[in-house]
Amino acid sequence: MPVTVYPASTTAVAWKQPTGTSPEELFRSACSDDAQKCKMVIQSSFQDIASAHIHGSNNGFVYAAFQAYNHHYHLKVRPEDAWFSILVQLSFYINKHAEELRSQFVAHEGQKEIEIKEIGTIKTVDFGKLAVAMSRELEKHVVDAQLRDWIMPDFTTTQDNDKIVAAILMMGTLQKYFSYKMTMMCGIPSVTLQGEREDWTKLRDRLDKIANWGEEPAQFATRLKTVLDYFILSFDEPTSADVKEFWNKIAHYKSGGSGPTYLSGWMTSFCFWSAEGELIRNTGFGSELAFCEIGNTTFLPVDTDDIPAGYASVPVKVDDNGTPYQTRMLAGSVGQQFTSSGGPVTHTDLRGNKIDPPNGETTGLDTIEPVIGWWMYETFDK
């Protein structure tokens, strides 16, 4: 069963910022670079979100942790939130080092086109279903027969949408080796680790595979194992001082005045590579908060301007009964959702000043969790 840790005795604060009202608005706030290339959102995992309290974010997982720590929100985390952040980071690295890693994934040279066919039109087919089917087809063309199963989440918290996100991330990770075509034919105060202890143990075990992909991936895995060991320990000793100390080291925001602003804490282990696959060079800012130590592992701060995206995208050619479309599929951690724990909260204004509860309300949107999702959109013709 899920476990809740109480790292601090503070009262949770209610969220007051605006949230998204449509899939398109959420897309623009979460993925601004891709939104500039978007001619039309074709399909998405987000439907009626006006009352879902979802705030678009470039990295839903990292910023959910950051905001929970700095603004006193309860935090909920699923195994999928951590796993997809790991997969997105690996996608950046593998695409940067595609040729030196080619033999780890495929036996062919260049790009091989993988095509999936489905009855319907671009307005009627389920592109999430097609992405999962594409991942099954990819399985036939990679040298590691267990790669897809390793990528796909199978935790007690896994939902159908998570399978779609994993499939799109698999496509994005292997895009230097494959191109993709879909043809239509007629006819994420407290931390609640969701799922079971076994889910988090299973997630940690998956990191063993990464060490085979090079020195940087091995370093990435080592840091993550230290973090996940404490996730697992949280199930065994949720009230222990060590576990509470660990969660209190999740993130710290340090302003550099007129200079850079930094994010420190072990959450930076999920910010190892940039979207271009370049190692993010962690540099300190000369204070006692410049680094975080967990056991024998040191986590250096990251310039907040360098926090990488929590999503990845991949081009897909669509043939809609003879009409060609240039599209992209995008998936990953793209926001934070706010819900109420039902417990008492401290109400503040937008500047953080304590105010009297509106209408005598004693509860509010005091719990934050990452949101995982995907979009498929048509790109502007080049």
Per-residue pLDDT of the chain (382 residues; tens, 9 = 90+): 999 999 888 888 887 777 767 888 888 888 988 889 999 889 999 887 777 888 888 898 998 998 888 888 899 999 999 999 999 999 999 999 999 999 999 999 999 999 998 877 788 788 999 999 999 999 999 999 999 999 999 999 999 999 999 999 999 999 999 999 998 875 547 899 999 999 999 999 999 999 889 999 998 999 899 899 999 999 999 999 899 888 888 887 665 544 557 778 888 888 888 888 988 876 544 444 456 888 888 887 888 888 888 999 999 999 999 999 999 999 999 999 999 888 887 777 766 666 777 777 778 888 889 999 999 999 986 6
**Of all residues in the chain, what percent are helix, strand and coil, respectively (each to 5)?**
35, 25, 40
Q: Which helix (H) or strand (E) holds 370?
A: strand 367-379
> Which residues, 6 or more positions from 237, have their beta carbon under 8 angstroms from its beta carbon?
243
Contact 191, 4 (CB under 8 A): yes
**Cα–Cα separations (whole angstroms), residue 213 to 99, 100, 105, 149, 359:** 12, 9, 10, 18, 57
Q: How many domains does the chain have?
A: 1
Strand, coil or helix: 70: helix
pLDDT of residue 283: 54
Residue 91 burial by CB count (10 A; 0-12/13-18/19+): exposed, middle or buried?
A: buried
Which token pair is 118?
Answer: 């489905």
**Cα–Cα separations (whole angstroms), residue 332 to 45, 118, 165, 360:** 11, 24, 6, 38
Contact 173, 91 (CB under 8 A): yes
Extract the runs of DSSP E, i.e. beta strands, from 82-133: 112-119
pLDDT of residue 253: 62
Range of the domain at 319: 3-379
